[in-house]
Amino acid sequence: MALYSETVMDHFRNPRNVGIIEDADGVGEAGNPVCGDIMKIYLKIDDDRIADVKFETFGCGSAIASSSMATELIKGKPVSEAMALTNKAVTEALDGLPAHKLHCSVLAEEAIQAAFKDYYDKNHIPYDASLFQGRSCHKEADA
Amino acid sequence: MIYADNAATTKMSRAAMDAMSACMADCWGNPSSLYAHGQRAKEVLEDARERIAACLGCSAREVTFTSGGSEADNQAILTAARLGEKQGKKHIVSTAFEHHAVLHVLEKLEKEGFEVTLLDVHRDGIVTAQQVEDAIRADTCLVTVMYANNEIGTIQPISEIGQVCRRKGVLFHTDAVQAAGHIPVSFREQYIDMLSLSAHKFHGPKGIGALVARKGVRLEPLIHGGAQERGKRAGTENLPAIVGMAAALEEACRNLEQNAERMSALRDRLIDGLDQIPYGELNGSRKDRLPGNVNFCFEGIEGESLLLLLDDKGICASSGSACTSGSLDPSHVLLAIGRPHEVAHGSLRLSISEETTPQEVETIISSVADVVDYLRNMSPFWRDLMTGKRQHVFDK
């Protein structure tokens, strides 16, 4: 069996929503170059919905596929729903990831959360800080 | 398909396959059996041993067949450790960028109370005989230094190190898995006491290798249960594989010079072509390098995605990124030559063979350039480098 599912390979080969949003309402980043992966998410929020989302990723095949899938899962969704995206949902939508690649899906979740935090901060919207307790890039992911 | 991962394994040669088929068809007896059919297998076995010895500059009695390079490395190091222990010598000298078949055995011995000195291999990926000489102590029982590195292809000064060890009376082992059949190896003339090799790196079959041990070095068996290989390695001999290895090594050594010349020219073209990609750099010495090895680091990208996209273009290569190693850290070899983590994640190893064509080399160059460019365009790390938010590691 191949390392990755067909869905992962499809999102890796044809990543959706690659790029940046110049006038983004929220920008979030997760990971670091020493770990070998960085994800950056740009959000455009309109009327409490995700009007647009773009990503840039430095990382392996599953990191790129996870970013692509995560952006697809939140695009057009209400903020509350998008905020609730979990790494588990990303992994399931990708038809699974190898165990040692699960942290890629965590990174996607974290980058999106960081972008929402940036949006709240910029707009002085109060929030519960405990929502944004980031995990480090290689901590255990939820399978 | 363009196969540029010959350091991982090679395609079997026609000569090796023919020799193996003939052996399997006609010579399937057990070399330990007394009747003529068995004794004929024994003759074929000893003939293969003679021919392999002739290629390596040792005597046939010094060749012990193993399951491959890893087993040979394990046996060589454990042999020296057991001999050393008896004399109260529990210090081993090696390098920071050995194959894991060496490093992991050394780690095991450290837990048993051995002391291990791993020598620095510098930016160029080469250790000096002087470093070895300085590291040898009264209680040193072994020096083990690889002949040529499997990732970055740098060739070590084996003759000089051998001379130092002989003069100091310390056993010298070299893992010659990447060297045998590719560059000249002469066991006796280079003062080597033990040498490991693996057939599938020179177009022979997988699962067979050899440990060459100088007369007088009593090998410690890892596998017990029979008198095969003069008691040093129990188990019925894998005769077809042994015969295949002999055929492959003979062919490789016969064509060694012309292959090396041809491959070196293609390697140099590959290096020059990839050097045009901005913010990339060759890993390891350009001069003292295996004829087929090219290894680059590119800033701002990650190796696994590079390999997957090259695979889509029909190119087989490898990388030292953490994601391809299945661990969190990138290649210990790249870290040993001083590459920072973030750059080591973006490494690419291309290892060509004598079958690689100039056209294939050009395709590799343009494909790598395209893929690196594509990945950089979606990399936030690259954007940070370009906008000055992060510092480049390379000058250009």
Mean of pLDDT values over B314-334: 86
Q: Pick from A19, A38, A138: which is nearest to B381 by CB?
A: A38
A98 reaches B (C-beta below 8 A): no
Cβ atoms within 10 Å of A80's Cβ, excluding its own: 8
For residue A141, the model assigns a pLDDT of 42
Q: With an 8 Å Cβ cutoff, are B378 and A57 in contact?
A: yes
Domain borders along chain B are: 14-254, 256-386
pLDDT digits (tens, 9 = 90+) for B290-300: 999 999 999 99
B262 CB-contact burial (10 Å; exposed 0-12 / middle 13-18 / buried 19+) = middle
Q: Look at residue B42 and tell me whether its pLDDT is greater than 70.
A: yes
Split at pLDDT 50, 70, 90, the class of B335 is: very high
CA B104, CA B145: separation in Å to the nearest integer?
14
Which has the closest alpha carbon to B280: B148, B351, B151, B368? Answer: B368
Contacts of B340 in chain A (CB under 8 A): 34
CA A143, CA A91: separation in Å to the nearest integer?
8
CA A63, CA B363: separation in Å to the nearest integer?
27
Q: With an 8 Å Cβ cutoff, are A56 and B342 in contact?
A: no
Q: Which two tokens stand for residue B102?
A: 């060496």
CA B300, CA B380: separation in Å to the nearest integer?
8
Name the β-bridge partners of B376: none
Kindly report the average pLDDT of chain B as a whole number: 97
Mean of pLDDT values over B361-386: 97
- Residue A35 falls in the annotated catalytic set: yes
CA A126, CA A102: separation in Å to the nearest integer?
31
Q: With an 8 Å Cβ cutoff, are B321 and A39 in contact?
A: no
**Pairing of β B140-144 and β B171-175:** parallel
For residue A1, the model assigns a pLDDT of 63
B323 reaches A (C-beta below 8 A): yes
Q: Look at residue A124 and tell me whether its pLDDT is greater than 70.
A: yes
Q: Look at residue B326 and tell me whether its pLDDT is greater than 90.
A: no
pLDDT digits (tens, 9 = 90+) for B154-202: 999 999 999 999 999 999 999 999 999 999 999 999 999 999 999 999 9
Angstrom CA distances, B76 to B73, B144, B147, B173, B220, stand at 5, 9, 15, 7, 8
pLDDT digits (tens, 9 = 90+) for B250-290: 999 999 999 999 999 999 999 999 999 999 999 999 999 99
Split at pLDDT 50, 70, 90, the class of A87 is: very high
pLDDT digits (tens, 9 = 90+) for A18-77: 999 999 999 999 999 888 999 999 999 999 999 999 999 999 999 999 999 999 999 999
- Residue pair B10/B353 in contact (Cβ under 8 Å)? The answer is yes
Q: Which of A64, A82, A93, A104 is catalytic?
A: A104
Which has the closest alpha carbon to B77: B179, B69, B153? Answer: B69
Mean of pLDDT values over B135-150: 98
CA B359, CA B352: separation in Å to the nearest integer?
13
Domain borders along chain A are: 6-122
Mean of pLDDT values over B354-376: 98
For residue A131, the model assigns a pLDDT of 72
3-state per-residue secondary structure call for chain A: CCCCCHHHHHHHHCCCCECCCCCCCEEEEEEECCCCEEEEEEEEEECCEEEEEEEEEECCHHHHHHHHHHHHHHCCCEHHHHHCCCHHHHHHHCCCCCHHHHHHHHHHHHHHHHHHHHHHHHCCCCCCHHHHCCCCCCCCCCC
Contacts of B324 in chain A (CB under 8 A): 60
Split at pLDDT 50, 70, 90, the class of A129 is: confident
Q: Could you tell me what percent of chain B has a pLDDT over 70?
A: 99
Angstrom CA distances, B380 to A59, A77, B159, B323, stand at 10, 25, 47, 18
- B256-386 has which fold? Aspartate Aminotransferase, domain 1 (3.90.1150)
CA B67, CA B209: separation in Å to the nearest integer?
5
B320 reaches A (C-beta below 8 A): no
- A6-122 has which fold? Sufe protein. Chain: A (3.90.1010)
Which has the closest alpha carbon to B347: B380, B322, B321, B324? Answer: B321
Q: Look at residue A143 and tell me whether its pLDDT is greater than 70.
A: no
Cβ atoms within 10 Å of B46's Cβ, excluding its own: 12
Cβ atoms within 10 Å of B327's Cβ, excluding its own: 11
- Residue A104 falls in the annotated catalytic set: yes
Element of type H or E holding B281:
strand B280-282
Q: Pick from A12, A58, A100: which is nearest to B380 by CB?
A: A58
- Residue pair B348/A27 in contact (Cβ under 8 Å)? The answer is no
Split at pLDDT 50, 70, 90, the class of B322 is: confident
Give the list of residues 6+ apart from residue B346 with CB closer than 8 angstroms, or none: B297, B298, B299, B300, B301, B302, B303, B306, B321
A97 reaches B (C-beta below 8 A): no
For residue A134, the model assigns a pLDDT of 55
Q: Look at residue A130 and tell me whether its pLDDT is greater than 90.
A: no
- B14-254 has which fold? Aspartate Aminotransferase; domain 2 (3.40.640)
Q: For residue B310, what is the nearest residue in chain A, using CA coordinates?
A: A13
Contacts of B308 in chain A (CB under 8 A): 9, 12, 61
Cβ atoms within 10 Å of B30's Cβ, excluding its own: 16
Give the list of residues 6+ apart from residue B189 with CB closer than 8 angstroms, or none: B57, B159
- Which of B298, B301, B304 to mutate to probe the A interface, most A CBs <10 Å? B304
ipTM above 0.90, yes or no: yes
Mean of pLDDT values over B23-35: 97
- Can you tell me whether residue B186 is helix, strand or coil? coil
For residue A127, the model assigns a pLDDT of 83
3-state per-residue secondary structure call for B308-360: HHHHHCCEECECCCHHHHCCCCCCHHHHHCCCCHHHHCCEEEEECCCCCCHHH
CA B98, CA B336: separation in Å to the nearest integer?
10
- Residue pair B99/B197 in contact (Cβ under 8 Å)? The answer is no
Which has the closest alpha carbon to B182: B198, B193, B194? Answer: B198
Q: With an 8 Å Cβ cutoff, are B305 and A59 in contact?
A: yes
Which has the closest alpha carbon to A143: A114, A101, A109, A82? Answer: A101
